[in-house]
Structure 1
Amino acid sequence: MTTTCTRLLVNKGNIHECTLQEVPRLQEQDLQDGEVLLDIDYFAFTANNITYATLGDRFGYWDFFPAEASWGQVPVWGFADVSASRHPAIKEGARVYGYLPMAEQLRVQPGDITASSFTDIASHRSHLALAYNQYQFTASDPAYRPELEALQMLLRPLLLTSFLLDDFLNENDYFGARQIILTSASSKTALGLAFMLNHQRSSRGGKPLQIVALTSAANAGFVTGLGYYDQTITYDQLDELNADTPSVLIDFAGNGAVLAAVHQRLQEKLKYSALVGAAHWDQRQSEKNLPGTRPEVFFAPGYWAQRSKDIGTAQLMGRFATLWSPLAASVGSWMEIRTVEGGEAMKQAYLDTLNGLIRPETGMIMKTQGK
């Protein structure tokens, strides 16, 4: 076994700049009482992780896995194994799923331990959203299937956001809208929301009437072929967008020009405008002074906490579970899983995702080292 570990660091002020860093490999003797060492197996990387980097300062994403000076570690979702433990309730060999750095190891301080999960209660994470600090034991996760680990990494974090958006829209009766418009419609979170809206429409009295995809010309064929949307419009054809019906805009792209153009076209017919992601992070512009309703940031962990208080976490997870299976099956039928191994390949895959070079039908899985 090597004496060092590789991790990917990103310049927080310029996320196009990244570097591989070698750090000492931790052993059991490096742990304090109550700490656990996770060997990171692999993790997924999507445009959602670019959002974490883009909004890292705004929402504290850089705080989860601190690095030196101006550098940060982009959080990812993946699987890890307990390689050493100085906590009596955590056994070596246990496999967990949760929030990880783009690295080979992570030291955690487990607390709030149950049969199904534990929370990292390390002081630097205490102010951060609970949803990101919990680690699930695969042995007691009823939805876990070893053969579906890639889909779980790729989809579950995104689909939780999709699920919460779907719940939010339904709870607010779609703000009186008859048309739901999704930008960056080929992104996995947008596809998840479109599936859920479509899948449940008959049980919701036909609401929403119309699910509209806004996407690039290059992705239009792919988006249309899935059958999740009722209409596909490319960004250069926004004049085809129905401007006479009450509408909701869910912006996954973060493209200020597109956001402004939709607001300009719909004017007062736009009843709600949500900012969710930043797939086109470099084109973000001010959301102020736009016609119609003012855009609002939708923060999924905050809404999860609110709904958990309203109806209970168990019921909320139950609702999600009923949608997870059909959606995972649908996405699994068209998604192509691509796995890259080693630091240099991980770095290149990060840059390719940042630059929009990963096809929407591709699911990117990274291993820091071939194991």
Structure 2
Amino acid sequence: MPATPGLRFEVDTHDLRRTRVVETSDADAALPEGAARLRIAHFALTSNNITYAAFGEAMKYWQFFPTSEPGWGCIPVWGFAEVVESRAPGVEVGERLYGYLPMASHLVVQPGRVNDAGFMDASVHRRELPAVYNQLLRCATDPLYHAQLEGAQAVLRPLFVTSFLIDDFLVENQAFGASQVLLSSASSKTAYGTAFCLAQRRGTTSALRVVGLTSPRNLGFTESLELYDQVVSYDALASLDPGVPTVYIDMAGDAPLRQRVHAHWDGQLVHSCSVGGTHWQQLGSAAGLAGPRPVLFFAPAQVKRRAAPPPDGWGQEGLQLRIAQAWAGFVKHATEGRSPALRLVQAHGAEALTAAYLRLLQGEADPRDGFVMSL
């Protein structure tokens, strides 16, 4: 049994700049029957986690890992953990797991639906939340897991799954009749993962032109990815042809930018898809927009549709096979070559975690950096 209590990183849900690290009982309290104690080895911290915080209340992200004090929240992250104590049948000490975790040193889970692939955390407070976030996968049987790529997997895998599902959503809906896809926050990992999936259809009749919007600071990086047909800075939006039928994939959540995009394309904007909130300080209402009303893209809903048994869906195995095939190409693109898109930045401790979080929150992180953190 650990001699010291666990640690957890929390943020003020009303002012995301305020943070603290608190002690928890997850590392040293008596373990209930049927529960398992996990030591969190490391987790990724990306702009996706800023989105979780920005939409924490609306999308119930704060409910996954409740805190002891109102007004403070624990941002969910994706990462790896090891079972250090177990009173749950079928869950063994020493197992390595991948899944949705708190920014913390330890977590106590209530394993349910245990099988060869892993188990669900059936803790009472998680039972009404989307199942895709409650599953912990056994690394020993996970077809996407490679020990030497653990850092890259922590950073890119959850984002790429969302990218894959956005691409699939566009295919399923025949891109709403568009010939062009516009992605904001184009230097973000979810955006360029989506661009990667779209780029796989270049040269085919279903190919779409892919345009990335990004800040002047990230223009060079985004162009270097060679995934977009065109990259422009936000201040050059007016240079784009307003007559091209366009789908807008909004990773930024920037309300003034959304107004400009809708006004510029107006009748030629055939669908507006809200995904992220990297520009969290500019979030705002969709009231008064020209063109279609923005529709929130919720990845678990697309997972549920595609994981349904045939003929309605692909089935769980079919979905995982398709993701694995796409993932293999993407992770190679992101981690190999003369100038890889991903540069892992690994650090331990409260001070390092706070610094990385604030860099992402303030939009100051280098887009190549993928933070892999631990407490």
Residues 267 and 292 of structure 1 are in contact (CA less than 8 Å); yes or no, is this contact kept in structure 2? yes
Aligned length: 365
The 3-state SS of whatever aligns with 1:364 is strand
Residues 78 and 99 of structure 1 are in contact (CA less than 8 Å); yes or no, is this contact kept in structure 2? yes
Identity %: 42
Residue from 327, 332, 335 that aligns with 2:335: 332
| Unaligned runs of at least 5 residues, structure 1 | none
CA distance in 1, matches of 2:319, 2:201: 16
Residues 253 and 283 of structure 2 are in contact (CA less than 8 Å); yes or no, is this contact kept in structure 1? yes
Matched with 2:155 is 154
CA distance in 2, matches of 1:25, 1:46: 25
Matched with 1:231 is 230
Q: CA deviation at 1:345?
A: 1.0
Matched with 1:272 is 271
Please state if 1:365 is matched with 2:372: yes
Residues 3 and 25 of structure 1 are in contact (CA less than 8 Å); yes or no, is this contact kept in structure 2? no
TM-score (norm 2): 0.95
CA distance in 2, matches of 1:200, 1:133: 33
Residue from 320, 323, 332 that aligns with 1:320: 323
CA distance in 2, matches of 1:55, 1:80: 25
The 3-state SS of whatever aligns with 2:57 is helix
Residues 26 and 107 of structure 2 are in contact (CA less than 8 Å); yes or no, is this contact kept in structure 1? no
Please state if 1:343 is matched with 2:346: no
Query: Aligned partner of 2:188: which letter?
Result: S
Q: CA deviation at 1:86?
A: 0.4
When you count helix as a share of all residues, which structure comes out higher? Answer: 1
For each residue in 1:284-328, what CA deviation from the matched residue of structure 2 results, as whole angstroms up to 9, or x when unmatched? 121122111111110111121122223212111111111100100
Superposed structure 1 runs of 4+ greater than 4 Å apart: none
Matched with 1:176 is 177
Q: CA deviation at 1:88?
A: 2.1
The 3-state SS of whatever aligns with 1:65 is coil
Q: CA deviation at 1:206?
A: 4.5
Please state if 1:216 is matched with 2:223: no
Matched with 1:47 is 47
| Unaligned runs of at least 5 residues, structure 2 | none
CA distance in 2, matches of 1:4, 1:329: 39
Matched with 1:61 is 61
CA distance in 1, matches of 2:131, 2:201: 29
Matched with 1:250 is 249
CA distance in 1, matches of 2:335, 2:261: 32
TM-score (norm 1): 0.96
- Once the two structures are superposed, the pairs formed by residues 74-153 of structure 1 within 5 Å of their partners are 74-153=75-154
The 3-state SS of whatever aligns with 1:348 is helix
Q: CA deviation at 1:3?
A: 1.4
